[in-house]
Amino acid sequence: MDAFLLSNEELTNRLREVGERRYHDKHPYHIRMHDGKLSPEQLRAWVANRFYYQKNIPVKDALILSKLPSRDDRRKWIQRIIDHDGREGSEGGIEAWVRLGEACGIPRDEMLGEKHVLPAVRFAVDAYVNFCRLQPWPIAVASSLTELFAPTLVSKRIGVFLELYPWIKPEGLEYFRARLHQAPRDADHGLELVLRECKSRDDQEQAIAALSFKCDVLWALLDALSHAYPNKEVAT
Amino acid sequence: MDAFLLSNEELTNRLREVGERRYHDKHPYHIRMHDGKLSPEQLRAWVANRFYYQKNIPVKDALILSKLPSRDDRRKWIQRIIDHDGREGSEGGIEAWVRLGEACGIPRDEMLGEKHVLPAVRFAVDAYVNFCRLQPWPIAVASSLTELFAPTLVSKRIGVFLELYPWIKPEGLEYFRARLHQAPRDADHGLELVLRECKSRDDQEQAIAALSFKCDVLWALLDALSHAYPNKEVAT
């Protein structure tokens, strides 16, 4: 028994603290988005670049799936892939994101062709996929725990988009609506796995670091956007 | 355009020839199984060792899934994982294999504990999983094409088990029954992918070699069993 082992409550609190400090809702680009201050071009750039993250979610989830030793855990985890890829009669999150793009004025082929994806966004997302490919699976799972913080943010975002960006067609917001019930379920399962599998203080610290790394990925995406799509000062 | 490219029909024939020469139904241990000549100990050994192959099917399929670039292809491929891991209300192929074991007299915990799995079986199956992890995905898919040959063999096997091994409880044969409709669907999709993706003669030869490699994996499993569970000559 590791004398320095954190209790489940302590570890959960440490993970939540990572989000409080480093989740991407604190990034200036994101703050401006939720304040309704992004130009249409900046908002479209966010949607088009974030697509590269979205399309890689089932890839990293399949990598984690391939490492989960228990059939029960795989049966839960596979739902994430189905949520994003869709199944017969339900198109899934990637298609929903393409439709969000269309609602913002990004043609489908530009989105699918990754025409607007910045190199730094690609590097950050690829780093996330490779992290999930190469790390022990409980640590890879820990990196998914930004889902702990997502529902609050996403529910705000629906209101923000409806009220502050009325030029976005409201039917484009289905992706966010679906995440409201998917993300809490995913976060519960992810947290359960991390609490169950991280049985030394070292494991626990690695899990916390993994979540911090994932926050860096999301943050880097917004840094790249800030750099490529700076705010234009309106001359007065 | 590669002047030496095989037509779809030629490539399909070459793949089928691999099965005609090297599929495991030609192995002496398998021939004895289908002739009703295995002792209960030899048959149980086959079931218990083959379990290690069965349990790794969703692992190799998740690895392939993580590499499939198209959402449409992933939506088809994921069904393989669901077929083996099961979902709510349908227990899937791994559980069905455990029940086959029980019907043969192998206690569930001995099967799940991999108590009877021979080292050479582990090496062969792990080689298959690593092949799928490391090879380009169309080549990994090609290695799955033993499914082209499986339905004929499995439909024979159901009859063989019912008639020649009456000590096996017939309710244990559900795994084989399910494969009768799953394997042809999987083989169709796998072949479609290989024909679509292998666009040079070199790719095509690699696909053929991959299927040959996969036949070696199944063959090695039976070699290991032959060595560990030799036929006992009855003294007269």
CATH of the domain at A214: 1.20.910.10
Count of C-beta atoms within a 10 Å radius of residue A88: 6
- Tell whether the torsion through CA atoms of A49, A52, A55 and A56 is positive or negative: negative
Within a domain: B67: yes
Residue numbers of the domain that contains A191: 8-228
Q: What is the pLDDT of residue B234?
A: 58
SS3 assignment, position B87: strand
Q: Provide the pLDDT confidence category of residue B236 given band limits of 50, 70 and 90.
A: low
Asked if B66 lies within 8 A of A71 by C-beta distance, the reply is: no
CA distance, residue A6 to nearest chain B CA (Å): 31
Within a domain: B209: yes
pLDDT digit string, tens, across residues B27-60: 999 999 999 999 999 999 999 999 999 999 999 9
CA distance, residue A217 to nearest chain B CA (Å): 20
Q: What is the pLDDT of residue B233?
A: 64
What is the mean pLDDT for each group of 10 consecutive residues in chain A (236 residues)? 90 98 97 97 98 97 97 96 93 96 97 96 96 98 97 95 96 95 94 97 98 97 96 67
Q: In chain A, how many domains are there?
A: 1
Chain A hits for B88, Cβ within 8 Å: 75
Q: Note whether A65 and A85 are within 8 A (CB).
A: no
Q: For chain B, what percent of residues have pLDDT higher than 90?
A: 95
Within a domain: A233: no
pTM: 0.91
pLDDT digit string, tens, across residues B169-210: 999 999 999 999 999 999 999 999 999 999 999 999 999 999
Per-residue burial over B44-66, b = 16 or more CB atoms within 10 Å of its CB, e = otherwise: bbbbbbbbbbbbbbbbbbbbbbb
Chain B hits for A88, Cβ within 8 Å: 75
Q: Write the CB contacts of A174 (distance below 8 Å, at least 6 apart in sequence).
A: A96, A99, A100
Q: Provide the pLDDT confidence category of residue B89 given band limits of 50, 70 and 90.
A: confident
Q: What is the DSSP letter of B113?
A: T
What is the ipTM for the molecules in this complex? 0.85
Flag whether pLDDT at B235 surpasses 60.
no
CA distance, residue A76 to nearest chain B CA (Å): 9
Q: What is the pLDDT of residue B132?
A: 98
Q: Which of A63, A74, A82 sits opposite B58 (nearest CB)?
A: A74
Closest chain A residue to B84 measured between Cα atoms? A71
When comparing pLDDT for A24 and B236, which is higher?
A24
Within a domain: B2: no
Chain B hits for A75, Cβ within 8 Å: 85-88
Within a domain: B38: yes
Q: For chain B, what percent of residues have pLDDT higher than 70?
A: 98
